Chain A
C-alpha cells in the first residue's frame, strides 16, 4: 500500500532531515512511526502526503508515485496533521461538505458517514457552529471525521492523540482497528509508546532521519527482551 524507497530530504542541501529511508507497509496493517523530537517523522509524513517533495528517492501509494501521479495517489489516502490548523471561518458541516466534494462523495454516503463519525466523537451537535468556536480537541475530532469521510485506503495521522480526551482516544484507536479490519491501512506517528505498543502490527523507529528499526513488536522485543520504552530509549540515545 505504501512504499518508500531510499527517500531523503534536505532543506539546506547540507543536513539531511530524512536520510535514505526505505519502508514498505502492506494493506491491512497498522504501523506506528516513532522517534524523538526532530527525528524526521513529520518531514517523512509531509513527503508521503505530497506537502513536501523528497530530495531523492521515491514514494508510492497503492502503486502510484506521489510526485508523478499526485492526484491519483492522493485519492488513496487522507491525512490528519499534528496540529489542527485549518481555515476556521466556516462551520463544521461546511468543512465536511468541502472534504466530501473534494473526494466526490455522494450525498447519501457523506450523510451516513458524517453522522456516524461525528456522533462517535460527540461533535455532531456542534457541526452547525463555526469552527473558530471549537476547542483544540474538537478541531482534531473534526479533522479525523473529515479524513475518514472518503473511506481512504490509507489513513495517515501525525500525532493524532495530542489534544484528544481519553474517550476520544479510545474511539480513535477502535476506529483505526476497524479501518484495518475492513481492508484499510493506517500509518501514524506518535510519542505515546503504550498506544503504539497496544495498537500496531509493526513499529518503525526513526532517529536523526534514519530508519533504525521496523519490525513487529514481538521481533523487536525478542532481540532486546525489554519494554518498548526501554528499547526506544536505548536505540535513540545520543552517542
Chain B
C-alpha cells in the first residue's frame, strides 16, 4: 500500500507541477488565481445550461432529469477526452522505462497513473455535471442527498475513465505487436470513437421508434428511461440522487466491477502491452527504398510539422478530434434526422444559409487551435530548426502554413458534405469560402503568437504539450472575445445576413494584417529568444 501511495503522490505532484509550468505563470499565487478564474469562466455557461434545463424539467415535474441529461454528456466527453490522455500517460510518458524496472506490480503503476487522469477528468466533470448535482442537493435540502451528491461528484469520472482504460489497454496489447504501432493506435482509437458514436446513433434511432416510446412511457419512470436509455448508469445516478438504495448499489457496483475488470486486464495485459510497444519502437520498419531527392525548404518544413502531428497518436487524436468534432456533430444530426435537406429549405432559414454555411466552413479553424501548440509539440527537438540556415520568419511562416493546410483540409471536407444538404448558391458559397480562408489565416497567425509567448518544450508526456496547456484555453478565449466583439457590432448595426458575412470578412482581413505585422515584427525576436 505504501508503494501505491508513494507513487501516486509523485504522479500527482508531477501532474500539478507540469500543469503549472504549462500555465507558464511565474507567480504561483497568480497561477492558482488564474486556474480558479478559468474554472469559474468554464463553470458559468454550464451553470446557465443546467439552470435552464432544471427549470424546464421542473415545469413538467421531473427536475431530476437534468442530472440524467448532463451525466450522459459528461460521460461521453470524459470518455472521448480520456482516450488520448490514457495513451499518452500509459504509453508515451517519459517515466515508463524507470517504472518498468521498479519492483512494483502493474496495478500499482496503473492506479498511480490513473490518479492524474482522474484529477483532470474530475475537473471536467465538476464543471459539466457539478451545477445539476448542486441543484438537486440544494432543493432537496436533505443531508443524505447532500452526502450522496458529494460521493456522486467524486466518482462520476470513474466509469468513463475505466471504460477508456480497459479498451485502450486491450487495443494496445494487440495492435502494438503489429507493424506500425502509431498508425494502428490512431486507427484503433478512431474505430473506438466510431463504435461509440455508432452505438449512440442506433440507440437514438431505437429510442425515437413510436412503439419503444409508448412502451417506455407506460412505466412510472418512463421519461427517465427514454432519456437514459443510451447509457443506463445515467438512470442509476439520477435515482441514486433521489436516495434510491437499489440504484446506488447498481451505480457503485458498476464502478467496482469496472475497477476489478481493470485490475484483471492490467495484470494480464499492461506489462505485455508496454513491452510489445517498446519492442516495436526498437524494431526497424525497412519499408521503401533509399532516395535522394531535392525539395524546397518550405516543403520540408511544412512536411516536418505535419509529420510531427501524424507520428504521435496523442497529437494526432487531439488535432483531428478537435477538427472532427464539427464533422461528428454534423454527421450525428444528419443521420438522426435532426438536420435534413427539408430543414434548410424552409423559407425562414433561406436568408441565413450563407451564415450557416460559413459557420460550418470555419468550424475547423475555430475548434482546431493547432498553431497554439506548434512550437510545444516539437519538445526538445526544437533546437533542430534553430541551427539551420533559415530565417526566423521562414521558421514561423511554415509552422503557420502547416496549420492552415490542416484546417483548410477540414473545411474542404465539411464544405463538400454540407453542400449536399444546404441549398447554397455559387455566389454565396464563394463568399463563405473567402470568409473561411480569411478567418483561418487570422486564427493560425494569432495562435502562434500565444505559443511564442508561452513555449512549453519540457513536457513529460504528449498530452501536456497539447492539452494540459493554458495556450489552448487562451486561444479559445481569444476566439470568444473576437466573436463577442463582432456579435456586438453586428447587433448594433443589425444588417442583413449577407452583409454580416461581408462585415466579418472585412474585419478579419484587417485583423489578419494587424496580427501578421505584429507576428513578423515584434514576435520574430521573441521567437529567436526561446530557450530550450
Contact = CB atoms under 8 A, between A and B. Distances in A.
Given A85-B380, A89-B310, A50 B386 contact: yes
A103 B292 contact: no
B307 A90 contact: yes
A175 interface: no
Interface in B272-301: 281-297, 299-300
A133 B284 contact: yes
Contacts of B307: 87, 89-90
Contacts of A51: 383, 386-387, 532
B292 A102 contact: no
Nearest to B528: A53
Interface in B501-532: 528-529, 531-532
Interface in A89-122: 89-91, 93, 97-98, 100-103, 106-107, 110-111, 114
A32 to B, nearest CB: 21
A187 interface: no
A126 interface: yes
Contact of A70 (B293, B379, B391): B391
Interface in A131-147: 132-133, 135
A93 B308 CA distance: 17
Interface stretch (A20-28, A74-82, A191-199): A74-82
Interface in B349-405: 378-381, 383-384, 386-392
Nearest to B295: A101
A52 B531 contact: yes
B296 A101 contact: yes
Given A49-B387, A81-B383, A102 B297 contact: yes
A101 B292 CA distance: 10
Nearest to B291: A93
Interface size class of B (residues with CB under 8 A): 35 or more
Nearest to B310: A89
A71 interface: yes
Contact of A89 (B286, B312, B390, B392): B312
B479 interface: no
A128 B287 contact: yes
B293 A87 contact: no
Nearest to B384: A86
B311 interface: yes
A230 interface: no
B230 interface: no
Contact of B378 (A52, A74, A87, A91): A87
B498 interface: no
Nearest to A79: B387
A127 interface: yes
Contacts of A86: 381, 384
A128 B290 contact: yes
Interface string B170-198: 00000000000010000000000000000
A89 B377 CA distance: 13
A71 B294 contact: no
Nearest to A102: B388
Contacts of A98: 300, 304
B456 to A, nearest CB: 16
Contacts of B281: 132-133
Contacts of B378: 87
Contacts of B529: 53
Given A75-B389, A102-B300, A129 B293 contact: no
A216 interface: no
A133 B289 CA distance: 17
A81 B182 CA distance: 27
Given A50-B386, A53-B529, A81-B383, A130 B284 contact: yes
A128 to B, nearest CB: 5
Given A51-B383, A133-B284, A89 B294 contact: no
A97 B291 contact: yes
Nearest to B383: A51
Contacts of A111: 292
Interface string A199-220: 0000000000000000000000
A89 to B, nearest CB: 3
Interface string A2-16: 000000000100000
B300 A107 contact: no
A133 B388 CA distance: 25
Contacts of A72: 389
Contacts of A129: 284-286
Contact of B292 (A53, A114, A130): A114
Given A53-B529, A128-B288, A130-B284, A102 B389 contact: yes
Contacts of B291: 93, 97
B461 to A, nearest CB: 16
A128 B286 contact: yes
Contacts of B295: 97, 101
A54 B70 CA distance: 55
B523 to A, nearest CB: 15
A70 B527 CA distance: 14
Nearest to A87: B381
A65 B194 CA distance: 55
12 contacts: A51-B386, A85-B380, A85-B381, A90-B311, A91-B285, A98-B300, A107-B293, A126-B284, A128-B287, A128-B288, A132-B281, A133-B281
Given A70-B392, A97-B300, A102-B297, 12 more contacts: A51-B387, A51-B532, A52-B531, A53-B529, A87-B378, A88-B311, A97-B292, A102-B300, A107-B294, A127-B290, A133-B281, A133-B282
Interface of A: 11, 49-53, 70-72, 74-75, 78-79, 81, 85-91, 93, 97-98, 100-103, 106-107, 110-111, 114, 126-130, 132-133, 135
